[in-house]
Amino acid sequence: MNELDDPPLDRLKHHFAQRVIHQARHLLEVWQRLSRSEWNSSGMDELSEACLRLLRYAERFEQAEHADLAKAIDNCLRAVQENRGRLSSELITELNRLMQRLSRTGLRHGDQFEQTSLPPLRKPVYLALQDMERAERLAQQLEFFGMAAQPCESANAFRAAMAERHPAAIVMEIDFAGAAQGLELANEAQAGLKQKLPVLFFSHEETDTPTRLAAARAGGQDFFTGALDASSLLEKIETLTRVAHYEPFRVLIVDDSRAQAAHTEMVLNSAGIVTRALTAPLSVMAELAEFQPDLIILDMYMPECLGTELAKVIRQHERYVSVPIIYLSAEDDLNKQLDAMSEGGDDFLTKPIKPRHLIATVRNRAARARSLKARMVRDSLTGLYNHTHTLQLLDDARFRARREERPLTFAMLDIDHFKRVNDTYGHPMGDRVIKSLALFLKQRLRKTDHIGRYGGEEFAVVLPDTDATSARKVLEEIRQRFAEIHYPAQPGDLTCTFSCGIAELTDDMDIKTLAKQADEALYRAKHGGRNRVEVYG
């Protein structure tokens, strides 16, 4: 009897899981759209409606985890309504945390239904390339990383796919289906859409500025020329299609007037920006270290010191040299404003200021600062944090772990026999393996974990709120999955593995000792046969 009943039961579970996950995807897409633009009441209504529908489906189909998350998100949205539609820093942070948890539930392949294939929590990527073989290889690579990709062999096939479903992104060759036809197809696909689909254009030859301008107008988010590097494409697609990965801007407000600070906070919070207000300017350095803002707003005239004096003190610390400082003051003397900006400031806004003007200035300055900081602290090949910044993040995490009495682990990973990969398949293949492991780690670790390229083929991971046993379980699963990836090569496909060493923070331990212990555990994994995870001690 059971044998006859099981297949229909599995199909029923599959159907229920699909309904819930499709609704979770819709909720996440609404959240992502809101996060990238100014918050408004209609957007909040749409978010609330999508959340209630998810709760209804999850309860009907007995999906407990989705139901719990939908209830928690609904509680946050009700709190926003009770706050007359205004978001506080706490609510923004909590909503972001819940959305990230929701996105991870959908990306677990078959946790609850091992016999079913759950749909990925993202739309497919359409590949419109002249070389169909190249497109199919690229689709295979994307599938290794949990991305659904659909090659289109002709213009009509692309149109049919678009008519059936809009993609998360389009990879479009400029000359797909004829000279400059890719541009026309992209424009055709964008026609009538309120929000343009992200398009990654590709051309074998270097193109002129008018062509690139036409590509940008057709929704082009990037333009690849020459060889189409799969790893770079993966990284860009992951950035464009990542759901609920929005990290709110963080703004520190220093103003001796509590009323003015509260008003500035209210305006910025309404736009989804996390704030912290400080009315005692002399404690600014401690707040900077704790809050790590993307931008600082300073009042010009305060009893304890001038805003320009405080800016000088902030700029004396190398870590905060690139953090934008905006003066917000009633001072309307242009010469004094210019003098203030020469004292470490980046912009001067005069009170009273219109909310939209303040929000736009903060968003633009903070976004540019983040982009510049990423270039300074990240490794150019992988986009991961560089060695120096990884250790800085480890030190910050150590400080928080000791203060909050929470566990902290540090892991070091090393690709096995990497020299053999370079010698046998060439350095481009070696780079490809490094980039794929970097992306693999980013996809499978939490947003709160910090991943760095420690040097060469060596990686490091800072895991806050994680003990050694939990860290080992997570990294062991990643190790097993990474070993299953096949890299197309001659004479046969290449597979790679890594070894890993883990150390857990103990009382009074500094980061040098913690890193040394992780390194010793890695050494033991290497000499114990490789392709394994070892914990120090």
Q: Are residues 193 and 305 in the same domain?
A: no
Name residues whose C-beta falls within 8 Å of residue 147's C-beta, 6 or more positions apart in sequence: 120, 122, 125, 234, 237, 238, 241
Helix and strand numbers (H, E) in the chain are 19, 15
Q: Are residues 237 and 254 in the same domain?
A: no
**Inside any domain, residue 1:** no
Q: Are residues 418 and 531 in the same domain?
A: yes
Q: Are residues 304 and 438 in the same domain?
A: no
**Inside any domain, residue 381:** no
- Where is the domain boundary, 211, 241, 271? 241
pLDDT at position 244? 46
Tell me the C-alpha distance between 221 and 338, whole Å.
36
Tell me the C-alpha distance between 514 and 442, whole Å.
22
Q: Are 234 and 435 in contact (CB under 8 A)?
A: yes
Average pLDDT along the chain: 83
Q: Are residues 279 and 218 in the same domain?
A: no
CATH code where residue 158 lies: 3.40.50.2300
Q: Are residues 434 and 528 in the same domain?
A: yes
pLDDT band at 111; cut points 50, 70, 90: very low
Q: Name which of 482, 479, 446 is nearest 463 in CA terms.
A: 446
**Inside any domain, residue 43:** yes
User: What percent of the chain has a predicted confidence (pLDDT) above 90?
Assistant: 29
Domain coverage including residue 53? 14-107
The count of structural domains within the chain is 4
**Inside any domain, residue 359:** yes
For 173-220, how does the pLDDT look when each residue is reduced to its tens digit (9 = 90+)? 999 988 889 999 999 999 888 778 889 999 988 888 999 999 999 989
Average confidence (pLDDT) over 404-428? 91
Quickly list DSSP for 75-141: HHHHHHHHTTTPPPHHHHHHHHHHHHHHHHHHHSTTSS-TTS-PPPSS--EEEE-S-HHHHHHHHHH
Q: Are 251 and 268 in contact (CB under 8 A)?
A: yes
**Inside any domain, residue 57:** yes
3-state SS, residue 208: coil
**Inside any domain, residue 354:** yes
Residue 509 has pLDDT above 60, yes or no: yes
Tracing tokens 């509680």 back to the chain, one arrives at 75
**Inside any domain, residue 114:** no
Q: Are residues 369 and 398 in the same domain?
A: no
